Structure 1
Amino acid sequence: MTTTATDLDVATERQREPADGDAASLTPPYHAVVGLDVGDRQSHYCVLDLQGDVVAEGAVKTTEASLRVLFEGKGRMRIALEAGTHSPWMSRSLIALGHEVLVANPRKLRLIAESDAKHDRADARLLARLAHVGPALLSPIRPRSAQTQIDLALIRAREVAVQTRTKIVNAVRGMVKSTGHRLPASPTLTFARKATDACPEALQSALLPLIRLVQTLTDDIAAYDRLVVENARAYPETQAIQTIHGVGALTAVAFVLVLNNDRSRFTRSRDVGCYLGL
């Protein structure tokens, strides 16, 4: 079943009637609860009233424009969705529209992960019911800010470049060895130059393009490193971290960003190590 924005208007409008007497003071600061099961192209939602009854269900395209059409101007709602690829921008968009957003931790949400009735509509209903009866059951996480996410993308992109370079270097060395030759030992920074000179003539047509890719990646990684140093200046916390022997801008910035640049998340310093799996 697909519900239109107009149907959602009608369903949620019924929840805005003020309560009388003492009940008014117990009314939560939202008039409906929504479970949003996010898909890459399409997301399913389930809307509950304050009594926990389903008042609307449907699907919406996983785009900012479609979410705005569906949820803008509908009054404040509590919306629950699982953490994933789209959850950062979706949560920020929904918060900007005035809604309360709960981003559920999928690692702890076993009711969905281990459910025998695993499909989008059922997952949306379950998210909505959990958000209605007890938000703590979702083990909600705190999404990163847009800037933190962008800066962390730089760290991750650099890591992809480093891993790709390592795979190419290992592949080139292995193919040369398989022909009875051996490339000279060298640090990664000078690998392209030395490998070009030492590459067997029979393998040059196959390996020189890869060796040129290594040099390109090396140059790109150096550019990433310069950007990381610049980003470190935007996070004063990294200065103290870099006073530790062997810790540079890359490690310091990655540490701050992975913790979402929010030291208040941890009451004890030892909790940080547990969070990072140390």
Structure 2
Amino acid sequence: MKYYIGVDLGDKKNSVCVLDKNGTILIESTFENTPEAFREFLKPYKNSAVAIEASTHSLWINKLLVGLGIKVYIANPRKTALISQNNMKTDKVDARLLARLVRSDPELLYPVTTKDMSTQKDLTLIKSRDSLVKARGDLIRHLRGVIKPFGLRFPDDVTPDNIHEKGKEIFEKENFPAYKVLLDAIKALTSKIKVLDKQVASLINKKYPEAKNLQTINGVGPITSLTFVLLMG
């Protein structure tokens, strides 16, 4: 390789350090975190190895750089102790260290592989469902909490599916404000979660039969099995 490049990824702007084959710093700079900016910056550095850290942006950046014919190393941020424990940690320093590591020994980056775009998109289904479940759980816990100071509690048989009706009985009787909005929100979230559950089942049937096989194990359902296949497959 003629050039060794470390890029410390930011959400909007990246810090970059370029070394030559002798380890001399040629340039330290910043550029926008966009495909266009990446292409423009890397134009003079075709014969290069680039090190980035695994992040929410590393998937599309890896695809872009590989398409440009550049060797990409995605560093495992949990393993690169040299970077994470650096007392002088700044974006500029991180970029410089990434460049030096990829030049001296790429294995020190503990490089990880990225999942393909299709798998990553399928994972968003699981993550989106998780977000809805968390939001619903937060609302239910809130409702449980607001009635406790009044010596009230939901019946033991309350579930996300029936809390709208059972909760309504309690809140109407005690004339609590805002309860209807919260119960309606829980009901709406439950409905949307069921929509995503159907999409999960459809995805398993169409693309991931191995996830269906995992469901023969006691206690393993569609969500768990698909998550396992997507993360470990």
With normalisation by structure 1, the TM-score equals 0.78
Indicate how the Cα distance of structure 1 residues 157 and 135 shifts in structure 2: closer, same or farther if over 3 A, else same.
Answer: same
Counterpart pick for 2:24 among 40, 53, 69: 53
Greater mean deviation of Cα atoms: 65-74 or 94-103: 65-74
Partner of 2:112: 141
Partner of 2:78: 107
Partner of 2:219: 246
SS in 1 for 2:73: strand
Q: What displacement does 1:221 show?
A: 0.7
Find out whether 1:257 has 2:214 as its counterpart: no
C-alpha contact (below 8 Å) 1:42/1:59 kept by paired residues? yes
Partner of 2:56: 85
Partner of 1:198: 170
Counterpart CA distance in 1 for 2:44 and 2:90 is 29
SS in 1 for 2:198: helix
Counterpart CA distance in 2 for 1:48 and 1:208 is 62
Counterpart CA distance in 2 for 1:123 and 1:135 is 15
With normalisation by structure 2, the TM-score equals 0.93
C-alpha contact (below 8 Å) 1:82/1:104 kept by paired residues? yes
C-alpha contact (below 8 Å) 1:47/1:56 kept by paired residues? yes
**Gapped regions of structure 2 (runs ≥ 5):** none
Greater mean deviation of Cα atoms: 182-191 or 221-230: 182-191
C-alpha contact (below 8 Å) 1:72/1:97 kept by paired residues? no
How many residues of Structure 1 are paired with residues of Structure 2 in the alignment? 231
Partner of 1:237: 210
Counterpart pick for 2:159 among 163, 187, 192: 187
Counterpart CA distance in 1 for 2:180 and 2:127 is 27
Q: Which amino acid aligns with 1:31?
A: K
Counterpart CA distance in 2 for 1:108 and 1:211 is 45
SS in 2 for 1:188: coil
Counterpart CA distance in 2 for 1:71 and 1:232 is 40
Q: Which amino acid aligns with 1:222?
A: K
Q: What displacement does 1:198 show?
A: 2.6
Partner of 2:200: 228
C-alpha contact (below 8 Å) 1:181/1:200 kept by paired residues? no
Q: What displacement does 1:113 show?
A: 1.0
Greater mean deviation of Cα atoms: 40-49 or 202-211: 202-211
Find out whether 1:212 has 2:212 as its counterpart: no
Q: Which amino acid aligns with 1:216?
A: A
SS in 1 for 2:138: helix
Partner of 1:158: 129
Q: Which amino acid aligns with 1:236?
A: P
CA-to-aligned-CA distance 1:21-52 (integer Å, 9 cap, x gap): xxxxxxxxx32110001111110111111122
Q: What displacement does 1:243 show?
A: 2.0
**Identity among equivalent pairs (%):** 35
Q: Which amino acid aligns with 2:219?
A: G
C-alpha contact (below 8 Å) 1:33/1:48 kept by paired residues? yes
Q: Which structure ranks higher in relative contact order (CA pairs < 8 Å, sequence separation ≥ 6)? A: 2
1:15-30 paired onto structure 2 within 5 Å: 30=1
After superposition, the CA RMSD in angstroms is: 1.6
CA-to-aligned-CA distance 1:53-111 (integer Å, 9 cap, x gap): 11222111011221122225742321001111221221121112111110101111111
Q: What displacement does 1:177 show?
A: 2.4
C-alpha contact (below 8 Å) 2:3/2:45 kept by paired residues? no
C-alpha contact (below 8 Å) 1:184/1:198 kept by paired residues? no
Find out whether 1:177 has 2:148 as its counterpart: yes
Q: What displacement does 1:182 show?
A: 3.0
Q: Which runs of 4+ in 1 moved over 6 A?
A: none
C-alpha contact (below 8 Å) 2:204/2:211 kept by paired residues? yes
